[in-house]
Chains A and B, each alone.
Chain A
Amino acid sequence: MNDGRVLILGGGIAGATAAVSLAGAGVPVTLVEKDDFLGGFAARLACKALDSCQKCNGCLAEPRLAALMTTPGIDILRRAQVRELTQGDNGFLARVAQRPAYIDPERCTGCGICLQKCPAAAEGALRRPLLVGDRPPLAIDPAACLYFRDGRSTLCQDICPEEAIDFGRKPGEIQVAAKAVVLATGFAPYPAGQKERLGYGIVPNVVTAMELEAMLRDQGAPRRPSDGQKPAKVAFIQCVGSRERLGHNYCSRVCCGYALRLGRSLKHRHGTEVTVFYMDLQSFGQVPQEILEAARRELNLVRSMPYDVMSGEGGRVLVEYQAQSGQPSRSESFDMLALSVGMTPGADNPELARGLGAGLSEQGFLRPGTGIFVAGAACRPLDVAESVASAGRAALDALRYLEAK
């Protein structure tokens, strides 16, 4: 049965915006999200306001993601991935594989007893959703859960007062017939560990800027992973995984904006001394001059790309760089180092492009095909506001396509 529905891949800001727009125009929508929870990266951003808003546009996502869950006409499949998509005369037929919900969304009340008792809670075996109203209120991460290692640790299943947990559940498969497909699968943050010299995963207290965002969002303050202390001196390194001659040969566009705003926010709210190592400061959007001028006054901006990061005493991070060409290199010590990782194409993109008949750009981002539309950072590095606009464009194109059919 094909009721003229649109299949949307991805439950982040772009997928949510496209879904709400299409459902608002009376088109039935099935949205497929591979994670346990909706929200994507936009739901993980922190507010960077000083006394006034710095226009990072992160909170643009909140009302739109909330609307995704309350707009009628949108079927949401979490923990699901499209395995196969075939295009026939009557539109698309998708075979969607769904991971089992070990915690039953119908029964779980979110009481959190499992979370209190879980021996692997610190490793993230049980996760809470990113958004209010997302379901189930808790999810098990098989990567960290002990049961999936030993097959015996069923404490949470045994103590759940609602009997909502069942490790015996099996994966499912669903067929979705659709007239059009919107790819809103987003981006993958550059894996910082690949740049070994920058110390991520090796030197303690080297974090990604995204991890710093999460700290600010959830705890309200930066904390050093090694000892939980508030860092007094923080450095950012820009262009980690961006503007590489070999590899990601493009500017990720958003990193300068978030790093300068994060830096100013740390300085204002926590008195942190902030240094930013950069190549060229990209300030697009509407507040370039103001943010840049303020950052020049308040932060220590160094035009130099550090080439080595080492471990110092007391969990400190030593950054080696050359301040100016021809001058000897310098080593400076920081309490914490944040790597401004770039936006790279999703790992599934080649598979998606092959399986769906969508195109692939030279850099590996997705391009539209017949009846297939691309929204948000799946098509190129975009910020939150641009992703919303891009999803609007994709929804409009999909609507026009459906009308013409």
Chain B
Amino acid sequence: MAQATRRAVFICQGGAQDQADLDYKRLRWTAEAQSDPLVFEVPQACQAEGAAAIARLANQHGLARFLLAACPMAGAAGSLEHALGLAGLALGAARVIDVFDLPETPGLACRVTEGAAVAMAQALAVEEAWRELPLEAREVAGGVLVVGNGLAALEAVTGLADAGREVLLLTPTRRLALARPGLGKEASEAAAALAEGLEDRPGVEIIRRGSLVSLSGTAGDFQAVVNDAAQRPRLLRVGAVVVAQAPPQAPNLPPGLAIGPRVVTLDDLWALMSSPEHFRRALGDKPAPRVGLAVGLGREPSPLGLRSACLAALGLMAETQAEVTLYTTNAKVAAPELEELTQRVRSEGALMVKFTQDRPAVTVQESGLRLRYMEDILGREVEQELDILAVDETAAPDRQWRALARTLNLTVGTNGALQPDQVGSLPVRTVRAGVFAVGPARSTGDWLAWSDEVGEALLEIEQLLGEGQPLLESGRVVVDRRRCAICLTCVRVCPRQAMGRRDRRPFSNPLACTGCGTCASECPMDAIQIVGDDDARYRREIRAAAAPRGGMLELAPPDELLVLACANSAAPALAAARLSGGVPPAGTRVVRVPCAGKVDPAFILEALGQGFDGVLLLSCFEDACYSLTGNVWAGMRLEHLRHVVSEAGFQPERIMGAAAAPSGRAQVMEALRQAWDRLDELGTNPLKTAARVRDLLGRFTVKVDHTYVIL
């Protein structure tokens, strides 16, 4: 089981030169007030001498982990870690607490910051909850299921087989579709080379015309049911899933135009072109057929459509006598060599027409088509006759595609992509840990980008599954069996789909869990706790942040704001702001949470009860949460809590929320300024006096040793 280690605190004497200073003494007393701590004062910790002293003492007392009170700059600048590393201490052994400010003038001692004792108390409260968890070898399935039938899928299968993994390729078609001809010859050749002999490779199995029926379980331990062509189900155990299938395509037509003998898709045109005889016959044996290629007449097109049209135009002009016109709207040239390709189409003699505002009026007759449109450069209306018009295709998710998404428990974007862009899942992850979406399944980019995505996914799979028995922390998420009602709320809310069931009880898979704590906060029975991040630790830390409040006689201490900062966004942004000289207003106390989704309404009530004048929850922006929905849950809880406190006659405006990005150093400072402006309007928390009296009584009764100091 987890063991508590002896706590130790080192105080850097860079900030300890004026040891008679009351602020400094208070810092020391705060450290000593903790039960049985070791407190050491050491010379400047960011210099070799100080670091060596720390290393000596740490070794002497067998301390693998300790707190180090120093200045924020030394911590932010990495010089502490560096010096300690040189002195032979493990990376991350020291948890640095920012308690000193550097001197404003050279030669003077560092100053103890306004919130030093608070920061010390908070760090001790966090440290008290910290537990080292045993590492356990976890057996995972090493095989991988790949869904798809094109270039990206073939590349994934080959790469996985090269890495010695068992692979099952599930293709919706009978053939292993080679790359679409519109991608270019290079892609077709690459696909053909990959497909050759794939089936005979040891460890590779291909199920043609198969479908995925269900996928249960969690990363490293998925149970997939797949149907083969004869609808015979099979149960497989796989460690990961790669989806590399393109969404279904539909012709990109403007309203009023339909596919027919004269209007075809580019893919159809490529099929016709593959047989010169068919091509001639389809165009009524005309010696110089007039061919129109249109990209983007309906929806916004993609570079894939433009590449296909350009290559078709060049092929037609080289091999037939066709007169080619290329119609574009927004010409999507954002792919390698596409700009040059369009220029070549023009220089080889194709007519290029760009529709900026209106689309052409198309009349389809049996013998051909007539297009009427406004020509921008000529400035007049033009009529053009064609024998055939080929239009590009765009993704059109159908029922089957949506069913596949549902089976995988993923969502579909408006453009058919299987995993809409989201900061926590880019470039190849999905919201379901262990399931990867690559290539055409998620992007309309070029196939060079698909190849990169496949590579990144293979790397992620190696990291996830390793040699088959990754060593993982066990017991980070604890489900209390006496409380759990097996309502499975945790399974539903887990943003990484890391919650599975073991022995019919919820069980968090450490391979997939990021420790965001959403399950713990949403559990209606309060049955889940995250070790080291449990609710009691936050209540203790918030009390610690509120506790040391100036002198005995100050019955109206200064205003205080509690900031609950998301570790993925606001906390790094605050650190960056600090680095560029930003200082949070005095009275700002920051408690770092793993995700806004961890914030329980009880934390906020605790803070207000402890006399904080306001609470500001800093989360990620909507749709940018690293745990997908942590900020949404948090927002709902704040809203509910505001309602509850206003019913009780308390000002709900004291409960505030704002968003920041990890790069948002200006954003967080602005959010703090706005929160303080709000507090200035609201005045002092009416609960503050009561909290203050309770705090003083507490000091008298519990910490008798120190009362003389306070008096």
B677 at the interface (CB under 8 A from A): no
A128 to B77, CA, bound (A): 10
A112 to B72, CA, bound (A): 13
The reply to whether A49 and B462 contact each other, CB–CB distance below 8 Å, is no
What mask results when residues 121 to 158 of chain B are scored 1 for a CB within 8 Å of chain A, else 0? 00000000000000000000000000000000000000
A397 to B162, CA, bound (A): 12
- Which one of B60-68, B542-550, B617-625 contacts A? B617-625
What mask results when residues 201 to 242 of chain A are scored 1 for a CB within 8 Å of chain B, else 0? 000000000000000111111000000000000000000000
Residues of B within 8 A of A129 (CB): 579
Which secondary structure characterizes the binding site on chain B?
loop
Interface residues of B in 94-137 (CB under 8 A from A): 102-107
- The interface size of chain B toward A, counting residues with CB under 8 Å, comes to 99
- Which one of A91-99, A177-185, A347-355, A388-396 contacts B? A388-396
The reply to whether A128 and B423 contact each other, CB–CB distance below 8 Å, is no
The reply to whether A107 and B663 contact each other, CB–CB distance below 8 Å, is no
- Which one of B451-459, B642-650, B679-687 contacts A? B451-459
Given A49-B624, A60-B423, the answer on whether A282 and B77 have CB atoms closer than 8 Å is no
A70 to B335, CA, bound (A): 35
The reply to whether B300 and A47 contact each other, CB–CB distance below 8 Å, is no
Interface residues of B in 312-340 (CB under 8 A from A): 328, 330-340
A53 at the interface (CB under 8 A from B): yes
The reply to whether B331 and A57 contact each other, CB–CB distance below 8 Å, is no
A285 to B421, CA, bound (A): 8
Given A284-B334, A325-B376, the answer on whether A161 and B106 have CB atoms closer than 8 Å is yes
Given A108-B77, A325-B376, the answer on whether A220 and B669 have CB atoms closer than 8 Å is yes
B5 at the interface (CB under 8 A from A): no
The reply to whether B79 and A53 contact each other, CB–CB distance below 8 Å, is no
Given A109-B46, A219-B666, the answer on whether A52 and B624 have CB atoms closer than 8 Å is yes
Residues of A within 8 A of B578 (CB): 132
A188 at the interface (CB under 8 A from B): no
The reply to whether A46 and B463 contact each other, CB–CB distance below 8 Å, is no
The reply to whether B334 and A59 contact each other, CB–CB distance below 8 Å, is no
Interface residues of B in 280-334 (CB under 8 A from A): 299-300, 302-303, 328, 330-334
The reply to whether B458 and A62 contact each other, CB–CB distance below 8 Å, is no
B420 at the interface (CB under 8 A from A): yes
For B76, the closest partner residue in chain A by CB is A132
A110 to B331, CA, bound (A): 50
Residues of B within 8 A of A264 (CB): none
The reply to whether B74 and A251 contact each other, CB–CB distance below 8 Å, is no
The reply to whether B580 and A218 contact each other, CB–CB distance below 8 Å, is yes
Residues of B within 8 A of A113 (CB): 104-106
What mask results when residues 563 to 578 of chain B are scored 1 for a CB within 8 Å of chain A, else 0? 0000011001001101
Given A25-B462, A45-B663, the answer on whether A251 and B76 have CB atoms closer than 8 Å is no
What mask results when residues 359 to 394 of chain B are scored 1 for a CB within 8 Å of chain A, else 0? 000000000000000001101000000000000000
Residues of B within 8 A of A69 (CB): 78
Interface residues of B in 650-702 (CB under 8 A from A): 659-667, 669-670
Contact of B662 among A62, A105, A283 (CB under 8 A): A62
B356 at the interface (CB under 8 A from A): yes
A47 to B671, CA, bound (A): 14
Contact of A105 among B82, B159, B340, B663 (CB under 8 A): B82
What mask results when residues 227 to 261 of chain B are scored 1 for a CB within 8 Å of chain A, else 0? 00000000000000000000000000000000000
The reply to whether A46 and B663 contact each other, CB–CB distance below 8 Å, is yes
A305 at the interface (CB under 8 A from B): no
- Which one of A118-126, A286-294, A306-314, A328-336 contacts B? A286-294
The reply to whether A292 and B300 contact each other, CB–CB distance below 8 Å, is yes
A168 at the interface (CB under 8 A from B): no
B449 at the interface (CB under 8 A from A): yes
Given A52-B624, A72-B91, A249-B339, the answer on whether A137 and B76 have CB atoms closer than 8 Å is yes
Contact of B339 among A161, A219, A250 (CB under 8 A): A250
Distance of A22 from chain B, by nearest CB (Å): 10
Contact of A281 among B48, B82, B330, B339 (CB under 8 A): B330
Distance of B163 from chain A, by nearest CB (Å): 8
A122 to B492, CA, bound (A): 54
The reply to whether B463 and A109 contact each other, CB–CB distance below 8 Å, is no
Centre residue among A136, A286, A382, A394 by max chain B CB count within 10 A: A286
B414 at the interface (CB under 8 A from A): yes
Residues of B within 8 A of A280 (CB): 328, 330-333
For A376, the closest partner residue in chain B by CB is B452
The reply to whether A286 and B415 contact each other, CB–CB distance below 8 Å, is yes
The reply to whether A287 and B421 contact each other, CB–CB distance below 8 Å, is yes
Distance of B154 from chain A, by nearest CB (Å): 16
Given A109-B71, A113-B106, A284-B332, the answer on whether A132 and B421 have CB atoms closer than 8 Å is no
A63 to B667, CA, bound (A): 18
The reply to whether B456 and A133 contact each other, CB–CB distance below 8 Å, is no
For A114, the closest partner residue in chain B by CB is B106
B581 at the interface (CB under 8 A from A): yes
Residues of A within 8 A of B356 (CB): 303
The reply to whether B568 and A135 contact each other, CB–CB distance below 8 Å, is no
B426 at the interface (CB under 8 A from A): yes
For B438, the closest partner residue in chain A by CB is A389
Residues of B within 8 A of A66 (CB): 572
The reply to whether B102 and A112 contact each other, CB–CB distance below 8 Å, is yes
A159 to B103, CA, bound (A): 13
For A221, the closest partner residue in chain B by CB is B666
The reply to whether A393 and B451 contact each other, CB–CB distance below 8 Å, is yes
The reply to whether A133 and B339 contact each other, CB–CB distance below 8 Å, is no
Distance of A374 from chain B, by nearest CB (Å): 11
B413 at the interface (CB under 8 A from A): yes
Contact of A57 among B14, B92, B107, B423 (CB under 8 A): B423
A150 at the interface (CB under 8 A from B): no
Residues of B within 8 A of A394 (CB): 455
Distance of A266 from chain B, by nearest CB (Å): 14
Given A109-B71, A217-B665, A389-B455, the answer on whether A251 and B339 have CB atoms closer than 8 Å is yes
A136 to B82, CA, bound (A): 11
Residues of A within 8 A of B662 (CB): 59, 62-63
The reply to whether B102 and A105 contact each other, CB–CB distance below 8 Å, is no
A58 at the interface (CB under 8 A from B): yes
Distance of B78 from chain A, by nearest CB (Å): 4
Contact of A110 among B77, B415, B463, B669 (CB under 8 A): B77
Residues of B within 8 A of A382 (CB): 449
What mask results when residues 446 to 488 of chain B are scored 1 for a CB within 8 Å of chain A, else 0? 0011011111111110110000000000000000000000000
Given A106-B48, A132-B76, A380-B336, the answer on whether A59 and B427 have CB atoms closer than 8 Å is no
A43 to B663, CA, bound (A): 8
Interface residues of B in 398-443 (CB under 8 A from A): 413-415, 417, 420-423, 426-428, 442-443
The reply to whether B622 and A107 contact each other, CB–CB distance below 8 Å, is no
Residues of B within 8 A of A110 (CB): 73-74, 76-77, 79, 102, 579
A386 to B426, CA, bound (A): 9
Residues of B within 8 A of A61 (CB): 663
Distance of B340 from chain A, by nearest CB (Å): 6
A395 to B456, CA, bound (A): 8
A297 at the interface (CB under 8 A from B): no
B445 at the interface (CB under 8 A from A): yes
For B419, the closest partner residue in chain A by CB is A286
A290 to B417, CA, bound (A): 13
Contact of A128 among B105, B445, B579, B669 (CB under 8 A): B579
Interface residue ranges, A against B (CB under 8 Å): 21, 24-25, 43, 45-47, 49, 51-53, 55, 57-63, 66, 69-70, 72, 105-113, 128-129, 131-137, 159-161, 216-221, 243, 245, 249-251, 253, 256, 280-290, 292, 303, 324-326, 380, 382, 385-386, 388-397, 399-400
Instruction: List, sorted by A's number, 9 A–B pairs whose CB atoms are closer than 8 Å.
Output: A24-B463, A46-B663, A53-B621, A283-B300, A286-B442, A287-B420, A289-B414, A292-B300, A325-B377
Contacts beyond the supplied A47-B661, A51-B659, A303-B356: 20 A-B pairs with Cβ under 8 Å:
A21-B459, A49-B624, A53-B622, A55-B422, A58-B663, A59-B663, A69-B78, A106-B47, A109-B77, A110-B76, A112-B73, A132-B572, A135-B79, A137-B579, A253-B334, A286-B417, A287-B420, A386-B449, A390-B452, A391-B456
